[in-house]
Amino acid sequence: MKAASKVYMALIFIFLYAPILVLIIFSFNDTDTMSRSVFYGFSLRWYKRLFEDRMILIALINTLVIAVVAAIVSTVLGTFAAIGINGMGKKTRKLVMNITNFPMVNPEIVTGVSLMLLFVFISNKIKGLGLGLGTLIIAHITFCLPYVIMSVLPKLRQMDSNLYEAALDLGCTPRRALWKVVLPEIMPGIVTGMIMAFTLSIDDFIISYFASGTTQTLSIYIYSMTRKRISPEINALSTLMFLVIMILLVIVNIRQSADRRALRRKGTEGE
């Protein structure tokens, strides 16, 4: 690689990581003022305060509950949907795929607003059904579903359809064949989809903002702080979140490269 392109790549990475680095450095700032541009020395005080802050902890718990439920439900629903879509005729499949693609193409703010209209509409009709954790979970399942389907469908297409028929010929019921043959084959896609749903849910702000009512998630809490002065507790929190997400991404990547290697091996055996 030429030196010029090395420099260029380095500059882009500096651009991408400089703000994150600043955020992380200032999470260790040893000062009681909320300064975000003078570094006084190293301390863990903001981490300590973070774990004493009840509002942040409640927001964190809400975020995790939503992410776990949304990831599980959207993975189950999405996997079944992908299997169903894979077996559809061309015309129906095209229609369903258009609906699936729509939330990924549509501006997020419009999806958020439209869901809010629905939730407000329903809560006006039926007393006791307000915006909150429930609507947040529904909204998150809705925007995660397309991504699950997008990661499961290619695995279904790659799969040798003879495998399924062989299972049937050997006496499996269709249900058992799906469970014993199809699911293990598409498992990597399912796991990737689930991790994606989980991270998308944790990261989401725009749709949550419109679907939350008064319930706080981390993103919404951070947003309410940006309108006042942000406490470095948030820097500490984001450093921790960054670490968690990094670990998750590394796991996904290792899985995928293991997957690719397995595929390559299969390919050479076939020759």
Partner 1 sequence: MKAKGWATPYIIWMAIFIVVPLFLVVYFAFTGENGFTFANISKIGQYSNVFLRSIWMGAIATVISLLLGYPMAYMIARIPAKRQSVMIMLIMLPMWMNFLLRTYAWMSLLEDTGLINRLLQAVGLPQVHLINTSGAVILGMVYNYIPYMILPLYSILTKIDGSVIEAAQDLGANGRKVFLRVIFPLSMPGVISGITMVFVPAVSTFIISKMLGGGGNLLIGDLIDMQFLGSAYNPNLGSAISLVLMVMILICMGIMNQFDDGETMEGGMMI
Enumerate residues 23-42 that contact partner 1 by CB under 8 A: 23, 26, 36-37
Query: Does 201 contact partner 1 by CB under 8 A?
Result: no
Binding segment toward partner 1, per CB under 8 A, in 7-15, 44-52, 53-61, 261-269: 7-15
Q: Between 54-86 and 90-105, two packed helices, what is the crossing angle to 10 degrees? A: 160
Give me the least distance between CB of 85 and partner 1, in Å please.
5
Q: Shortest distance, CB of residue 78 to partner 1, whole angstroms?
A: 7
Phi–psi pair at 68, nearest 5 degrees: -65, -50
Closest to partner 1 by CB, 14 vs 44, is 14
Q: Which of 3, 5, 52, 126 binds partner 1 (CB under 8 A)?
A: 5
Judged by CB under 8 A, does residue 22 bind partner 1?
yes
Inter-residue contact 138 to 116 (CB < 8 Å): no
Question: How many whole angstroms separate alpha carbon 266 and alpha carbon 143?
Answer: 35
How many Å apart are CA 54 and CA 61, to the nearest integer?
10
Please, which of residues 147-166 interact with partner 1 by CB under 8 A? Answer: 149-151, 161, 164
- Span 218-257, contacts to partner 1 by CB under 8 A: 218-219, 222-223, 226, 230, 234, 238, 241-242, 245-246, 249-250, 252-253, 256-257
CB atoms within 10 A of CB 136: 28
Stretch that binds partner 1, among 44-52, 54-62, 125-133, 214-222 (CB under 8 A): 214-222
Which of these ranges, 5-13, 51-59, 124-132, 263-271, lies near partner 1 under the rule CB under 8 A? 5-13
Site string for partner 1, 75-114 (x = CB under 8 A): --xx-xxxxxxxxx-------x--xxxxxxxxxxxxx-xx
Tell me the C-alpha distance between 196 and 49, whole Å: 30
As a whole number of angstroms, the distance between CA 10 and CA 169 comes to: 57
Closest to 24 (Cα-Cα) out of 241, 247, 202: 241
Give CA angle at 153 (246, 270), nearest 5°: 95
